[in-house]
């Protein structure tokens, strides 16, 4: 199940596809991974008029901080328009705390709490330094302004500083295990696993009953292992795939033909048959289900075409889909695979307004969208909302705008390189660490002692809790067997050439698969 | 029927890329006898240069700034213009970069390797691939970018009346590929250079006598191949998929298939083969989604095409596949007769057992326990390479896949369809299976690995050398898609990893994870040690008995072996079977160590890494496998390095350093580290046994001052490098470096006038026909 | 009964018939020679007999069995063992191991024993190997690698390797090439010694001195055809041989030189003059 479009890459040979992962998966999309990792940061492409600091780093940042500082003080004061019902429980307090903290920063004190961070870096088969860089910047921000873990900002009571222990691993099962062993030996209280293709680190953490927060879930272990909390928005293909079907069958009237290219990996097989094909069969009545829309589209048909990741030439597969003459095409993939598909469709004369295309949130990549030009104008994206990277003045929702300001200014202030800031994975790392902070604050508020176990309970008990830059967290409502999926709500946005315009907020397609058993394969 | 025709044509776009890369492989093989695994990497760097110049206006040279200072830097990035440069300029830059890379590859890597053994050339070309990928990762960043097409990118509506839209890009790619193929054919048929190259490829010595310099010819051929690779990638543009450092390398297998169809000699047949492969792959892609297509094949069909193509070529004209002899080809290093095996094993066992208990529950230091276990298991896997490549000279890149087969089969045999794990957690996708006890399950796993190993060995009956290596890669890839990723075959739905239940021995629980989660259980390490000692005994006995002698006879000279009554084909299959058995044992232990094995761990790239480290260690001796195991990724040496030099940001350079290490070893030290260290250890061992008080004092006097000076220097330097090296280790490191410098200085001075210590390297053997030398009498 | 018999054996490479209708007979216990100028098809003949090149027409019988379709290793098992003009020694094995490999006849399950038991060779095998080493005086260099030996020694190791296989018929392909007259006569004596051991020998060479002095019966091959056969005396005077060979005087002079040296050498104490 490719969470928010990120699906498992079981084979190292597929890692060349992995190295294509440009965009964040789920979480706060509109990330624009700058492709130029070389020291000279080129200006982000003109189209992404993201917040000023994306241009030359230094001088703009001070400029930006003054402006946003002034804005936040007056704008955020009343925290009006932020309502727990819409933005998740605890949203108001969260915004109020952050506003107070940026006015009078609270430094953390006391003995640091060790938090592990396992991240693949340096291996040409797959390297994502933006995860750890953003995490380190967020930890600096938390330790210097938000009083560390378990702080009570309202009364100025500091909590313990976070000590982030980063283990950089190569893309091999031995190295994934080495990191798990190393972090455990270092005595960390809780571990963040950014992205891992093997899942062989979970047994090590489980044996020491250490909670694991997975930032970008992709393997089946990320969705089903107990003691693991996948906070990547849309909870993998559970949220994204069902959301894609829900959106495609409602946004464009009663359609009859749905084209579904799907990522052909072992987990991808289940994601397609169980969470895309089955919902379509529920809608056309051929499979009984408890959804209220069951059977509402009797002549809805679909054509599934398997697309192996990193397939160089997709035009034959695109021809199959276009020959089906679909009214809507949905494709849940990640990184460059999405844009290789869009490019392939473009080469066969397709345009977004001819047949609407709905991609998964993991495909969002400002650079690639700019490069695709008009071919990308009009493409829909279904994934976790929270436009943390959108240009601040283009965001109406007060909470989104506030969180976008925090993300785009504070992280730069605490050492994150602007080239990394625009990357989707960076936003997800920030989401993970901020959620840790907010739960730490809640534990301290209830008088408890901030430990790994206490934090784990908070995650486990979460239901519709506010999550910085993403859909609300609700691990407790995760349906079996996807017990580790913490937020299956998604939202839809459309790329209009400059920014991602929200089309539909917080919805979920889970209901489509309600009352049906698992259908893991074609004939099963 | 029109669908079939259309989809065959639709595949020609990618087919033209296979064709041009395949032609490049033929040109390089004819030019210098090297199968260039780095051909995809050449194409990748060339097209990245083209794209970077057009998009950002930068030229990135293919190396990295290794000078630590910020003032004096090695020029890497050259800014040409603020936004991108024009397409023609970028095109010229890309071709110039291709010429540069071709020349660097020839003069810096393959010219020194011109008379190396085939394995040395394979390791050299893998080193170049890894180096280019590492540099591309550093210079262009790892995230993929969509290449822009330079050919007209429109669409032919209703192409040839098949009422389907056909991309113009593919049409132009095929046209240009055919044009380039014709030009190359003319070049090699009707020019003196072409004639000389073809002459040198069939008889290098003859060409030398005629006054041609094979090295100049080889250099020109490398440049042509490199330019061709870049040209292909640029022409094909988006059809080649998005640009990543390892993107195009994955296409090398299909292009190798095309090159083998052209028997590594004929460019037109190779290009036709490439186009055919692309077309068939596209057709299979179309059929795969049809319901009548067997679902067991549906996902793997495309990847199996190269293997089937190669298989057909082998059995149609296997015997006649030419082996390009060079003027004088060094042999694989000698496989020394294992001596004093018992003493070696006892010494190693004592060290490991002491380490096992030392590292248990030792806080941060307990990471060494897992590192040692990983090294011991890597040694078992490398012993299988010692048997199949060291003893009988067959280069196999499928050994790790065979280990994977053993691990997966064992897991399946152990599975009993349980819905809950022993400690009550829900298993989302239960795996059905006979639920056999671990010894039987392991045995079945190993036996299946042996059977698959013999099947992988079948082509070895007809082809040898580097061409066999290509076939084993194709096998490894097919095993990956047909078995590991195939839920029907493994019973593992949704890509769930295969769970391996821990072993136990008469009540002693041998699980690898300690009760506090750390992997530092001495019982497990000793279990791995015992299995390793068994594997070492197997290999040592093999070498010392008739079977091992027969392997070495076949490696030395297949003709003479046949004349001496050895059935060469059956002996090769026996070697593949035994090596697969040892790899199976390694796979079983890998399963026990990792508890959850996923198909991601057994891809052919991982086999490449293990073969490379086995080669670094010394491919022909048990000690070589031990040293190779220590060097393996996540092994003892890398973890120790990371532990003491924690903050040195070296992980961004691992691929580059790995590539360079392989190239340097292939050139400087083809025998590997173990044989060169062996005399040192023996000398030191003998001195240790003989030394008593006075000798120690003498040694102390001789070495003491140098060590102290080194230590003091280390301590003084420490503040400057505070962040990377810990204060406690710097003096020790300084002292050690001082001793090494003294040793090298002494050896250089001794080498000056004394006879250099007996080179243990493989002495050059006279060319096959030994010219009669005057007989010495008496 | 003839140990080896060929019936009109023809070997064709494209249009060229390297061997045309060659019919020869090697009686058991005899030392039969085959001489012919360079390029006469001698090596093609021995390759055809030992299965390395296919026979275009005709038959080869060895020890009463037709060898058609048999692989070289099957023929070696029957006792038809050859040496190579280019030696083709196993460079990666010591001299002793070269001989052990050539003389071992493993059963299909012996690899299982080899994997588990420490090094042990059967006494019979050991005896054959030591016998062959002593026969050619190579005990001193038994544990050295072929690449460390002189050319003469390598030649002897080649012969010893074939001898160690206790062959019924020993095919020697130009064993004297590269040896001076003294050494080749010494080798001739060795060969006579082997006959007593029950081995039949088929000697192929272009060194007239050696062949004419050592062989009981000689065939002469020229341009792929047998142009003469008979005892050494008949061959020496046969006009066709002289014509085809090196012209009248050269053939005669070489024969006489061989005779004088043989007389002198047999005067000194015999036994393998070690070439160490």
Confidence band of B68 (pLDDT split at 50, 70, 90): low
Cβ contact A2:A240 at 8 Å: yes
Pair (B47, B132) in one structural domain: yes
Between the CA of residue A231 and those of A8, A384, A472, A514, C241, what are the distances in Å?
A: 16, 11, 9, 22, 96
Q: What is the rounded CA–CA span in Å between residue B569 and residue A24?
A: 53
Q: Which of C72, C183, C275 sits opposite B563 (nearest CB)?
A: C72
Pick among B454, B569, B775, B776 to test the C interface (most C CBs inside 10 A):
B775
A61 has a pLDDT exceeding 60 = no
Residues B264 and B398 in one domain: no
Structural domain boundaries of chain C? 2-90+165-274
Average pLDDT, stretch B253-262? 86
A-contacting residues in B 689-748 (Cβ below 8 Å): none
DSSP string, B246-266: TTGGGGHHHHHHHHHHTTTT-
Place of tokens 């090297």: B34
In this structure, the dihedral spanned by the alpha carbons of residues A86, A89, A90 and A91, taken in order and rounded to 10 degrees, is -10
Cα angle value B173/B179/B182 (rounded, 5°)? 140
Closest-CA distance, B15 to chain A, in angstroms, reads: 10
* Helical pair B438-457 and B465-479, crossing angle rounded to 10 deg: 130
Beta bridge partners of A120: A169
User: Mean pLDDT throughout B474-494?
Assistant: 81
Greater model confidence, B590 or B313:
B590
Chain A neighbors of B239, CB-CB under 8 A: 312-313, 315
**Average pLDDT of the residues of chain A:** 77
Element (H, E) at B490: helix B487-490
pLDDT at A191: 94
Which one of B338, B390, B545 makes the best mutation probe of the C interface by having the most chain C beta carbons within 10 Å? B545
How close is the nearest chain B Cα to the Cα of C92, in Å?
Answer: 6
Tally: H helices and E strands in chain A: 19, 12
Closest to B516 (Cβ–Cβ): which among A208, A220, A221? A208
Measured between CB atoms, does C160 come within 8 Å of chain B? Answer: no
B654 lies in a domain?
no
Among residues B551, B566, B599, which one ends one of the domains?
Answer: B599
Q: In chain B, which residues have their Cβ closer than 8 Å to the Cβ of A127?
A: 137, 142, 652
Residue whose tokens read 């490191």 = B733
Residues B77 and B221 in one domain: yes
How far apart CA B177 and CA B736 sit, in angstroms, is: 57
Place of tokens 């392939």: A344
Mean pLDDT value across residues B526-543: 91
- Asked if C225 and C20 count as a contact pair (C-beta separation under 8 A), the reply is yes
Residue B696 belongs to some domain of the structure:
yes
Q: How far apart are CA B176 and CA B15, in angstroms?
A: 12
Write out residues 572-611 of B within 8 Å (CB-CB) of A. Answer: 593-601, 603-606, 609
Asked whether residue B636 is domain-assigned, the answer is: no
- Res C2: pLDDT: 80
Indicate which of B336, B550, B560 best probes the interface with C, i.e. most C CBs within 10 Å of its own CB. Answer: B560
Pairing state between β A301-307 and B596-597: unpaired
Q: How far apart (Å, rounded) are the C-alpha atoms in residues B50 and B55?
A: 9
Task: Decide if pLDDT at B693 tops 90.
Answer: no
Find the mean pLDDT for residues A493-521.
Answer: 81
Q: Which residues from chain C sit within 8 angstroms of residue B544, using beta carbons?
A: 118-119
Query: Using CB atoms, which residue from A122, A198, A368 is nearest to B600?
Result: A198
- Distance CA(B533)–CA(A85), nearest Å, equals 65
Long-range pairs of A91-99 with CB within 8 A, sequence gap ≥ 24: A91/A399, A91/A466, A94/A438, A94/A466, A94/A468, A95/A399, A95/A402, A96/A154, A97/A146, A97/A153, A97/A154, A97/A441, A98/A146, A98/A402, A98/A406, A99/A72, A99/A73, A99/A402
Give how far B459 is from chain C: nearest CA, Å: 19
pLDDT score of C256 more than 80: no
Average pLDDT in chain C: 82
Same domain for B588 and B712?
A: no
Mean pLDDT score, A45-61: 34
pLDDT averaged over every residue in chain B: 81
pLDDT computed for residue A170 by the predictor = 85
Q: Which residues contact A14 (CB under 8 A, 6 or more apart)?
A: A265, A308, A309, A310, B600
Share of chain A above pLDDT 70, in %: 82
Residue B68, in any domain of the structure: yes
Please give the pLDDT value at position B650.
67
- Retrieve residue A17's tokens: 């596809």
Residue A504 pLDDT: 84
Question: Which positions ≥6 away from C258 have C-beta within 8 Å?
Answer: C181, C185, C208, C209, C210, C212, C213
Q: Can you tell me the distance from the alpha carbon of B386 to that of B282, in angstroms, rounded to the nearest whole number?
A: 39
Residues B348 and B458 grouped into a single domain: yes
Number of H helices, E strands in chain C: 11, 11
B545 touches C at CB < 8 Å = yes
Interface contact C179-B775, CB threshold 8 A: yes
Return d(Cα B142, Cα A16) in angstroms, integer: 10
Predicted pLDDT at B403: 94
Quick check: is B661 in a domain?
Answer: no
**C-alpha distance from B451 to closest chain A C-alpha (Å):** 23
Q: For B7, name the nearest residue in chain A, comparing CA atoms only.
A: A316
Structure tokens of C116? 């588990």
Q: For an interface test with B, give the residue of C46, C52, C101, C276 to mutate (most B CBs within 10 A).
A: C101
Chains that touch A (3 or more CB pairs under 8 A): B
B385 to each of A369, B555, B575, B579, C161, how far by Cα in Å?
Answer: 47, 14, 11, 7, 30
Question: Does the distance separating the beta carbons of B552 and C92 come in below 8 Å?
Answer: yes
- Give residues 501 to 540 of B whose Cβ lies within 8 Å of A: 513-519
Mark yes or no for CB contact B556/C177 under 8 Å: no
CATH number at residue B405: 1.10.3470
Q: In A, which residues are within 8 Å of B15 by CB distance?
A: none
Q: What is the pLDDT of residue B581?
A: 95
Question: How confident is the model over A221-234, as a mean pLDDT?
Answer: 79
Asked if the model's pLDDT at residue A199 lies above 70, the reply is: yes
Which residues on A lie below 8 Å from B517 (Cβ)? Answer: 184, 204-210
**If pLDDT is split at 50, 70 and 90, which confidence band does A175 have?**
confident
Yes or no, beta carbons of B145 and A319 under 8 Å apart: no
- Whether chain A lies against chain C with 3 or more Cβ pairs closer than 8 A is no
Q: Considering only residues 12 to 41 of chain B, which have any Cβ-Cβ distance to chain A shorter than 8 Å?
A: 13-14, 17
The pLDDT-based confidence of B767 (bands split at 50, 70, 90) is very low
Which neighbouring-strand residues pair with C26?
C4
Binary contact (B563, C84; C-beta < 8 A) = yes
Residue B85 near residue B57, CB atoms below 8 Å: yes
> Which residues are bridge partners to A492 per DSSP?
A382, A504
Q: Are strands A490-495 and A380-383 parallel, antiparallel or unpaired?
A: antiparallel
* Boundaries of domain holding B34: 2-287
Is residue B295 less than 8 Å (CB to CB) from chain A?
yes
Chains with 3+ CB–CB pairs under 8 A to C are B
Domain total in chain B? 3
CA-nearest of B706, B703, B705, B733 to B717 is: B733
Quick check: C82 and B549 CB within 8 A?
Answer: no
Q: Which of A3-7, B67-71, B495-499 has the highest mean pLDDT?
A: B495-499
**If you count DSSP H runs as helices and E runs as strands, how many of each does chain B have, helices first?**
30, 8
pLDDT > 70? residue A48 = no
Instruction: State the pLDDT at residue B225.
Output: 93
Residue B223: in which H helix or E strand, if any? Answer: helix B214-236
Q: What is the CATH number of domain C2-90+165-274?
A: 3.40.50.300
Q: Tell me if there are at least 3 CB pairs under 8 Å linking chains B and C.
A: yes
Q: Do A158 and A110 contact (CB within 8 A), yes or no?
A: yes
Beta pairing class for A328-331 and A257-263: parallel
In contact, A264 and B303? CB cutoff 8 Å? no
C32-56 mean pLDDT: 86
Q: What is the per-residue pLDDT for A482?
A: 76
């Amino acid at each position: 199940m490719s969470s928010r479009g990120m699906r498992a890459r079981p084979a190292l040979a597929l890692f060349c596809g992995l190295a294509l992962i440009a965009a964040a998966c789920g979480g706060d999309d509109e990330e624009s991974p700058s492709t130029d990792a070389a020291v000279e940061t080129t200006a982000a492409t003109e189209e992404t008029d993201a917040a000023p600091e994306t241009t030359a780093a230094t001088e703009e940042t001070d400029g930006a901080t003054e402006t946003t500082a002034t804005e936040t003080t007056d704008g955020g004061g009343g925290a009006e328009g932020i309502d727990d019902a819409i933005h998740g429980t605890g949203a108001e307090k969260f915004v109020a705390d952050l506003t107070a903290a940026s006015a009078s920063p609270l430094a953390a004190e006391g003995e640091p709490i060790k938090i592990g961070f396992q991240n693949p870096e340096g291996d040409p088969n797959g390297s994502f330094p933006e995860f750890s860089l953003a995490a380190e910047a967020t930890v600096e921000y938390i330790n210097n302004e938000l009083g560390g873990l378990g702080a009570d900002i309202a009364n100025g009571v500091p909590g313990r500083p976070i000590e982030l222990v980063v283990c950089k691993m190569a893309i091999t099962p031995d190295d994934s295990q080495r990191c798990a062993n190393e972090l455990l030996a270092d005595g960390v209280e809780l571990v963040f696993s950014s992205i891992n293709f093997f899942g062989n680190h979970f047994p090590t953490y489980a044996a020491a009953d250490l909670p694991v927060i997975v930032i970008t879930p992709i393997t089946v272990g990320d969705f089903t292992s107990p003691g693991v909390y996948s906070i990547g928005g849309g909870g993998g293909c559970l949220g994204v795939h069902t959301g894609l079907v829900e959106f495609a069958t409602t946004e464009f009237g009663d359609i009859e033909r749905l084209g579904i290219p799907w990522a052909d990996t072992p987990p991808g097989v289940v994601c397609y048959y169980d969470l895309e094909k089955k919902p379509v069969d529920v809608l056309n009545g051929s499979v009984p289900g408890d959804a209220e829309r069951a059977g509402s589209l009797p002549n809805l048909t679909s054509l599934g075409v398997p697309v192996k990741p990193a397939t160089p030439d997709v035009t034959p597969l695109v021809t199959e889909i276009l020959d089906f003459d679909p009214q809507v095409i949905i494709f849940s993939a990640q990184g460059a695979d999405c844009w290789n598909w869009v490019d392939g469709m473009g080469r066969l004369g397709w345009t977004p307004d001819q047949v609407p295309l709905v991609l998964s949130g993991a495909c969002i990549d400002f650079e690639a969208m700019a490069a695709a030009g008009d071919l990308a104008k009009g493409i829909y994206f279904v994934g976790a909302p929270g436009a943390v990277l959108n240009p601040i003045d283009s965001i109406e929702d007060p909470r989104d705008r506030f969180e976008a300001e925090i993300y785009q200014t504070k992280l730069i202030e605490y050492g994150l390189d602007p080239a990394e800031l625009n990357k989707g994975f960076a936003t997800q790392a920030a989401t993970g660490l901020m959620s840790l902070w907010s739960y730490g604050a809640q534990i301290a508020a209830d008088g408890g002692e901030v430990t790994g176990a206490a934090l784990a309970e908070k995650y486990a008990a979460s239901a519709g809790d506010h999550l910085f830059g993403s859909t609300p967290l609700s691990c407790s409502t995760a349906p079996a067997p996807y017990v580790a999926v913490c937020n299956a709500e998604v939202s839809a946005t459309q790329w209009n050439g400059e920014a991602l315009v929200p089309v539909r907020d917080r919805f979920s397609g889970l209901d489509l698969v309600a009352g049906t058993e698992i259908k893991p394969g074609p004939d099963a | 029927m029109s669908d079939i025709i259309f989809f065959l044509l639709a595949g020609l776009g990618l087919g033209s890329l296979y064709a041009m890369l395949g032609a490049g492989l033929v040109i390089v093989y004819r030019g210098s006898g090297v199968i260039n695994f780095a051909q995809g990497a050449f194409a990748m760097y060339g097209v990245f240069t083209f794209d970077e110049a057009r998009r950002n206006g930068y030229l990135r040279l293919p190396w990295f700034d290794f000078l630590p200072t910020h003032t004096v830097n090695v020029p890497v990035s050259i800014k040409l213009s603020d936004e991108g440069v024009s397409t023609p300029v970028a095109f010229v830059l890309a071709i110039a970069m291709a010429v540069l890379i071709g020349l660097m590859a020839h003069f810096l890597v393959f010219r020194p390797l011109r008379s190396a053994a085939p394995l040395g050339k394979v390791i050299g070309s893998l080193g170049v691939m890894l180096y280019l990928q590492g540099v591309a990762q550093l210079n262009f960043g790892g995230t993929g970018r969509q290449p822009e097409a330079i050919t007209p990118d429109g669409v032919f509506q209703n192409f040839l009346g098949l009422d389907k839209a056909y991309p113009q890009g593919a049409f132009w790619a095929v046209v240009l590929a055919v044009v380039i193929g014709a030009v190359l054919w003319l070049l090699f048929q009707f020019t003196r250079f072409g004639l000389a190259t073809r002459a040198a490829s069939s008889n290098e010595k003859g060409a030398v006598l005629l006054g041609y310099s094979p090295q100049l010819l080889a250099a020109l051929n490398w440049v042509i191949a490199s330019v061709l690779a870049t040209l292909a990638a640029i022409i094909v543009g988006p059809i080649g998929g998005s640009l990543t450092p390892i993107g195009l390398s994955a296409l090398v297998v299909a292009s190798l298939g095309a090159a083998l169809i052209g028997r590594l000699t004929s460019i037109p047949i190779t290009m036709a083969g490439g186009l055919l492969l692309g077309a068939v792959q596209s057709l299979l892609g179309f059929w795969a989604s049809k319901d009548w297509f067997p679902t067991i094949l549906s996902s793997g069909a495309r990847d199996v095409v190269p293997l089937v193509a190669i298989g057909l070529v082998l059995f149609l004209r296997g015997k006649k596949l030419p082996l390009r002899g060079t003027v004088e080809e060094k042999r694989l290093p000698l496989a020394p007769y294992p001596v004093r095996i018992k003493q070696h094993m006892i010494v190693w066992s004592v060290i490991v057992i002491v380490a096992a208990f030392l590292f248990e529950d030792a806080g941060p230091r307990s990471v060494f326990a897992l590192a040692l276990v990983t090294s011991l298991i890597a040694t078992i896997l490398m012993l299988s390479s010692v048997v199949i490549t060291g003893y009988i000279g067959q280069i196999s890149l499928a050994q790790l896949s065979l280990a994977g087969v053993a691990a997966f089969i064992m897991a399946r045999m152990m599975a009993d369809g349980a819905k809950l794990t022993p400690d009550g957690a829900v298993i989302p996708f239960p795996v059905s299976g006979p639920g056999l006890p671990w010894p039987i399950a392991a045995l079945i796993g190993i036996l299946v690995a042996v059977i698959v190993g013999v099947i992988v060995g079948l082509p070895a009956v007809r082809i040898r050398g580097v061409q066999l290596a290509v076939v084993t890669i194709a096998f490894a890839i097919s095993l990956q898609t047909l078995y590991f990723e195939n839920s029907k075959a493994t019973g593992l739905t949704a890509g769930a990893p295969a769970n391996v239940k821990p072993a136990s021995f008469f009540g002693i629980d041998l699980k690898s994870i300690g009760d506090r989660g750390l992997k530092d259980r001495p019982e497990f390490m000793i279990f791995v040690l015992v299995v390793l000692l068994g594997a070492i005994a197997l290999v040592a006995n093999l070498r010392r008995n008739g079977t091992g002698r027969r392997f070495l006879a076949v490696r030395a000279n297949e003709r003479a072996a046949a004349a001496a009554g050895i059935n060469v084909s059956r002996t090769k299959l026996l070697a593949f079977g035994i090596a697969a058995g040892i790899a199976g044992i390694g796979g079983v232990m890998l399963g026990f160590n990792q508890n959850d094995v996923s198909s991601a761990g057994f891809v052919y790239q991982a086999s490449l890494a293990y073969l490379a480290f086995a080669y670094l260690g010394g491919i022909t001796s048990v000690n070589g496998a031990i040293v190779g195991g220590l060097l393996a990724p996540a092994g003892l040496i890398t973890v120790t390095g990371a532990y003491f030099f924690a903050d040195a940001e070296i992980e961004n350079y691992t691929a580059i350093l790995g590539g360079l290490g392989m190239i340097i070893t292939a050139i400087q030290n083809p025998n590997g580290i173990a044989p060169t260290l062996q005399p040192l250890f023996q000398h030191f061992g003998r001195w240790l046994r003989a030394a008593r008080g006075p000798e120690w004092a003498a040694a102390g006097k001789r070495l003491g001052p140098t060590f102290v000076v080194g230590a003091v220097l280390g301590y003084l330097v420490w503040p400057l490098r505070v962040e990377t090296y810990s204060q406690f280790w710097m003096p020790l490191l300084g002292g050690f470096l001082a001793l090494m410098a003294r040793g090298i200085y002494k050896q250089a001075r001794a080498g000056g006038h004394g006879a250099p210590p007996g080179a243990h390297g493989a002495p050059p053997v006279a060319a096959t026909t030994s010219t009669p030398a005057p007989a010495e009498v008496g | 009964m003839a140990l080896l018999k060929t019936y009109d054996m023809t070997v064709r490479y494209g249009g060229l018939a390297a061997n045309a209708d060659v019919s020869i007979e090697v009686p058991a216990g005899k030392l039969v020679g085959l001489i012919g100028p360079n390029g006469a098809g001698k090596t093609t003949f021995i390759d055809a007999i030992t299965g390395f090149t296919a026979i275009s027409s005709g038959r080869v019988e060895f020890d009463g069995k037709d060898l058609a379709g048999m692989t070289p290793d099957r023929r070696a098992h029957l006792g038809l063992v050859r040496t190579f003009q280019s030696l083709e020694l196993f460079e990666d094995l010591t001299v002793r191991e070269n001989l052990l490999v050539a003389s071992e006849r493993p059963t299909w399950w012996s690899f299982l024993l080899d994997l588990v038991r420490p090094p042990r060779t059967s006494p019979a095998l050991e005896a054959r190997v030591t016998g062959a080493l002593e026969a050619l005086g190579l005990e001193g260099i038994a544990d050295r690698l072929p690449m460390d030996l002189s050319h003469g020694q390598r030649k002897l190791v080649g012969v010893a390797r074939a001898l160690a296989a206790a062959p019924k018929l020993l095919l020697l392909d130009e064993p004297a090439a590269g040896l001076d007259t003294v050494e080749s006569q010494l080798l001739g004596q060795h060969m006579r010694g082997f006959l007593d051991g029950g081995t039949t020998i088929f000697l192929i060479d272009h060194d007239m001195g050696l062949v004419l002095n050592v062989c009981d019966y000689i065939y002469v091959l020229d341009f792929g055809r047998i142009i003469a056969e008979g005892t050494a005396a008949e061959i020496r005077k046969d006009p066709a041989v002289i014509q085809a060979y090196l012209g009248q005087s050269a053939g005669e002079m070489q024969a006489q030189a061989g005779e004088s040296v043989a007389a002198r050498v047999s005067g000194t104490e015999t036994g393998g003059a070690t070439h160490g």
